[in-house]
């Protein structure tokens, strides 16, 4: 049994080392995307190939006109406090719509009239990070489309609720370029990847070592018992 535990713990440790290599590479890739020059946001021809693995946090640029009358507020907790993300459809000049997370507003700025200066008109150029849709809702809290209560940025559900047409399957977090009047407040995207795989690996290898120690103690006691039985 102890030998079986030893083999199992070593296997788990090796698996965590493999996960560590994968996570380290992922962090490096995302860091490169975030600091790269922006490229045009993917159009309809590319939508089918957009994936979390290769496109999440990719820096993109798009130009179009905001449809402020169809914005959606999504509950948010940020370094600026609790409030809402302002998700506004942008009619891209290429003929499709992209949901843009223009940034954060506190509860006192929830109403569009409380941030009228930020309701920019005419063609706008937006630089930001491509984000993959967040379907269904937040942790233990589902979206309520009927009640217009949103806990996650579910692109398809928001697009259906707002009656939008040809909508990209992703959204874009706008960068920190100030909006007129200061609201919404962009550039608050949190990029954080927990990376505790080395600690987990050392834990499993430590358990494997303890299994060997236990095996040695067991064999010693077994031999001692045999000697006593022989006497």
- Mark whether 63 and 175 lie in a shared domain: yes
- Phi then psi for residue 123, to 5 deg, are -60, 135
User: Is the residue at 34 inside a domain?
Assistant: no
In a domain, 53, yes or no: no
Same domain assignment for residues 216 and 158: no
Provide the domain count of the chain: 2
Q: How far is Cα 98 from Cα 128, in angstroms, rounded to an integer? A: 12
Residue 5 has pLDDT above 60, yes or no: yes
pLDDT at residue 119 in the model: 96
Confidence of residue 214 (pLDDT cuts 50, 70, 90): confident
Mean pLDDT across the stretch 187-205? 78
Mean pLDDT, all residues of the chain: 88
Query: For residue 206, what pLDDT is reported?
Result: 84
Per-residue b/e over 192-220, b at no fewer than 16 CB within 10 Å? eeeeebeebbeebbebbeebeeeeeeeee
Q: Domain check: are 6 and 106 in the same one? A: no
Q: Are residues 11 and 124 located together in one domain of the fold?
A: no
Give alpha helix (H) positions in the chain.
2-34, 52-55, 155-162, 197-230
The CA distances from residue 43 to 60, 65, 74, 93, in Å, are: 12, 16, 25, 11
The pLDDT-based confidence of 19 (bands split at 50, 70, 90) is confident
Do residues 67 and 167 share a domain? yes
Residues 142 and 224 in one domain: no
Domain identity same for 86 and 159: yes
| Contacting residues for 201 by C-beta, under 8 A, at least 6 apart | 13, 14, 16, 17, 20
Model pLDDT for residues 32-84, shown as the tens digit of each residue: 788 899 999 999 999 999 998 899 999 999 999 999 999 999 999 998 899 99
Say which residue, 14 or 158, is predicted with more confidence: 158
pTM for this entry: 0.78
Pairing of strands 81-92, 141-142: unpaired
123 within some domain: yes
Q: How far apart are CA 171 and CA 198, in angstroms?
A: 33
Domain identity same for 98 and 152: yes
SS3 of residue 82 by DSSP: strand
Min mean pLDDT across 82-86, 92-96, 162-166 is at 162-166
More confident residue, 122 or 14: 122
Sign of the CA dihedral with 148 first, then 192, 33, and 83 last: positive
Q: What is the CA radius of gyration of the chain?
A: 26
Q: Within this chain, do residues 69 and 157 fall inside the same structural domain, yes or no?
A: yes
Whether residue 143 is contained in a domain is answered as: yes
Is 202 in the same domain as 178? no
Q: Are 223 and 139 in the same domain?
A: no
Q: What integer pLDDT is reported at residue 227 of this predicted model? A: 67
Cβ atoms of 12 and 139 closer than 8 Å = no
Domain residues for 6? 2-22+195-230
- Over residues 71-85, the pLDDT tens digits come to 999 999 998 899 999
How far out from the chain centre does Cα 96 lie?
Answer: 24
Q: Is residue 50 part of a domain?
A: no
**CA distance linking residue 53 with residue 100, whole number of Å:** 21
Distance CA 173, CA 185 (A): 11
Claim to verify: residue 208 and residue 113 sit in the same structural domain: no
- Stated as kind and residue range, the H or E segment containing 88 is strand 81-92
Does residue 1 or residue 107 have the better pLDDT?
107
- pLDDT tens string 101-145: 999 999 999 999 999 999 999 999 999 999 999 998 876 689 999
Question: Which among 190, 37, 191, 186 has a CA at the least distance from the CA of 101?
Answer: 186
Asked whether residue 47 is assigned to any structural domain, the reply reads no
How high is the pLDDT of residue 225? 67
User: What's the rounded Cα separation, in Å, for the pair 95 and 93?
Assistant: 5
pLDDT surpasses 60 at 231: no
Of residues 216 and 68, which shows the higher confidence score?
68
């Amino acid at each position: 049994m102890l030998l079986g535990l030893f083999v199992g713990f070593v296997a788990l440790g090796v698996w965590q080392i493999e996960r560590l290599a994968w996570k380290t590479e992922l962090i490096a890739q995302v860091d490169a995307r975030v600091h790269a020059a922006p490229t045009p946001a993917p159009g309809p021809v590319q939508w089918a190939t957009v994936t979390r693995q290769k496109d999440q946090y990719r820096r993109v640029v798009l130009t179009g006109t905001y449809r402020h009358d169809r914005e959606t507020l999504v509950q948010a907790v940020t370094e600026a406090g609790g409030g809402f993300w302002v998700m506004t459809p942008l009619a891209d000049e290429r003929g499709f719509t992209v949901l843009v997370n223009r940034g954060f507003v506190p509860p006192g700025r929830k109403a569009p009239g409380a941030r009228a200066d930020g309701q920019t008109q005419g063609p706008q150029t937006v630089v930001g990070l491509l984000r993959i849709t967040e379907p269904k809702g937040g942790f233990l809290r589902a979206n309520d489309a009927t009640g217009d209560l949103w806990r996650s940025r579910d692109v398809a559900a928001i697009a259906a609720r707002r009656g939008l047409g040809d909508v990209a399957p992703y959204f874009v977090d706008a960068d920190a370029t100030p909006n007129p009047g200061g609201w919404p407040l962009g550039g608050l995207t949190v990029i954080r990847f927990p990376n505790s795989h080395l600690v987990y690996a050392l834990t499993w290898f430590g358990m494997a070592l303890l299994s060997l120690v236990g095996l040695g103690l067991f064999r010693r006691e077994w031999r001692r018992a045999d000697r006593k039985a022989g006497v």
